[in-house]
Chain A
Amino acid sequence: MQAVEVSHVVKSFADKVAVDDLSFSVAEGELFGLIGPNGAGKTTTIRMMMDILKPDSGEVTILGEKFGETARNKLGYLPEERGLYKKLRVIDTIIYLASLKGMDRRSVEAKADELLEKTGMSYVKSKKIEEMSRGMGQIIQFIVTIIHDPQLVILDEPFSGLDPVNTELLKEMCLDLKNQGKALILSAHQMNQVEELCDRILMVNNGRAVLYGDLAEIKSRYQSNAVLLDFKGELGDVPGIAGKRQHRGYVELLLDGKTTPQQLLEQLVSRGIIIKRFEMATPSLNEIFLKEVGKNKK
């Protein structure tokens, strides 16, 4: 069973098409990246998955069923814009928001203690939300998102505004959830985070899918016919190389199209060059993102 199944979904506001015939699925136990520039339609897509917005056409299935009360309680959502009741104490906030997910007070308190302990936030339990920093509030909201043990967790820009320590903490908790078999959808602008955490991605632009699939496979599609080499010794003229680009700490060798990376490696070894690093030049997700989004802008 897929955790999320979005099929040919369309959503318009006034005369603007925010999401245009979008289809994708997210498997259980998968960390899925939803990326795209500002205004691409990510949040609208998430809101349709949450049943906050109704699609004009198309279908959304969550945990094998159309959105309903059961699905709602199996789902955790951390929205991009974050806010809590400022005058409420942390524990009361957690209890109230968890009770909306059908949890009873006693189990919320026990789970809240556990999660506050895990995040090192036990000392703020009785503090008011307004007494905490933005980052701390964000951790509390993350706790609220996962406290009811959801099967599907949707995180919209979870790392924005977090310091490196809390970013690492959140990443670890996301991976923990994934290891527990939960499905996670991560919508983020920081491509390095997506690249580091996600198995598959969907890149949207202007409401349409630009890239969709396995991250490694997508990256291999964008692989250039070049290798990155860090070495010791004299390189000289190497046959099969059409060009060279010098970078700090390594050199990028562009193959001529007839020579394979394997043949190049053999040649280098036979010349007695000490090789510290030899890898296929694969673009980062950020480069792919810029390339795809830039192409659409043109």
Chain B
Amino acid sequence: MTLIMPVLGLLAIGVVQLVSAIIEPPEVETTTIGYVDEIGGFNQYTTQGPIELVRYDTQDDATAAMLKADVPEYFVISTPYTSMGVINRYTMEKQLETPPGTSAAIKRFLTSNVLSGKVPQETIDLVEAPLRLMTTRLTETGAVATEQGGFGNLLVPGIFSLLLALSLNFFASYMVQGLGEEKESRLIEVLLSSVTTRQLLVGKVLGLGVAGLVQVVVWLVSAPLLLNLASSTFGGFFSTIQIPGNFIFLGIIYFVLGYLLFAALSAGVGAISPNAREGQQLSLIYSMFAIVPLWFSSLLMMFPKSPIWTVLTIFPVTAPVEAMLRLGVSDIPAWELATSIVVLGLSIIGVLFISIKVFRIYLLMYGKRPGLGEIIHNIRNQ
């Protein structure tokens, strides 16, 4: 998985480049729409992008043309238009609403004809496209910020949060399965004759933490290279993609801490589970939390200031993925990041401490899985 993602990205760029070289861009299809001008004066601007407007003298002529399939639809400009802006449109297709392209073309046609001769062409153009909002983000000193936000800023953190959620699930399941198999085959006793329970558990957790570190470093190194390649190859949206400034640093921290937490949780679950299958079922409970921030990602984009995101950033099992996602959407206050990292670190220590105890008690117990009450009782009595 570590190397597959950059390789897949590279392949995707190569494939798109190859396909675009082979296949010619499709020609824009021109559509003809009929109209009946009962008021008069609507005879200019009949070409609106890919839509060609054809005038008919009467509504009967327009209907006949539609029935002969010369035009798929037509509209009538009659008296109510000048007072109320009402236009009647006729079509044989069943539609939920007027297609936006058609609606925009008719609107531009009407506006242009109404204003024609009364105001300069520049004014007509401005009325048709009155706003192109260009936002520039400034820093506290008033200078233009290097990180301008927008969807280009969201892409990399979004992809990384998705990959982190998938990786955490994969590795948690992998660890529980590995421990379950070692328990089932009783190999665990051989291991425990060579290392202490603490060494075994810490070794497994650190091993997974290092795996996380290697993975995130490979991805973070390959991401800018791929983006540069995509930007120079495709341009457009790809040239707007930015990696947030603190993303690399925080990405590494959250990846590693996330792996350590999930590894420690998985070690405890693996120890109390009588076999790999039951362990994997149990691991779903906390693995699911890694996915939660992704479920609510669209809400995060709409309401980035909601306190819910603060809670998810500080809650240890959702923190790694939520923090990554938020880095792409908005700024995270420093105190939130600091609290989140401290809580995550303390949670890892706490879970590791409990897992070592659970490990020691249950690693050599086979058979039925103990209940929560029994586990707490045994930890207290140890």
Contact = CB atoms under 8 A, between A and B. Distances in A.
Contact of A77 (B185, B190, B364): B190
A53 B187 contact: no
A141 B193 CA distance: 13
Contact of B187 (A51, A77, A84): A84
A50 B196 CA distance: 10
A52 interface: yes
| B-side interface size class | 10 to 19
| Max chain A C-beta neighbours (<10 A), residue from B185, B193, B195 | B193
Contacts of B195: 72, 100
Contacts of A272: none
A24 to B, nearest CB: 20
Contact of B364 (A47, A86, A101): A47
A116 interface: no
A81 interface: yes
Contact of B194 (A82, A85, A86, A101): A101
B192 interface: yes
Contacts of A47: 189, 364
A31 to B, nearest CB: 19
Contacts of A84: 185, 187
B364 A53 contact: yes
A183 to B, nearest CB: 15
Contact of A85 (B187, B196, B197): B187
Contacts, number: 46
B184 interface: yes
Interface of B: 182, 184-187, 189-197, 364
A97 interface: yes
A75 interface: yes
A72 B190 contact: no
A83 interface: yes
Nearest to B193: A77
Interface in A30-74: 47, 50-53, 72-73
A125 B225 CA distance: 44
Contacts of B190: 77, 79, 83, 97, 141, 144
Given A82-B186, A144-B190, 4 more contacts: A52-B197, A73-B194, A83-B184, A97-B190
Given A47-B364, A52-B364, A79 B194 contact: no
Nearest to A54: B360
Contacts of A73: 194
B189 A52 contact: yes
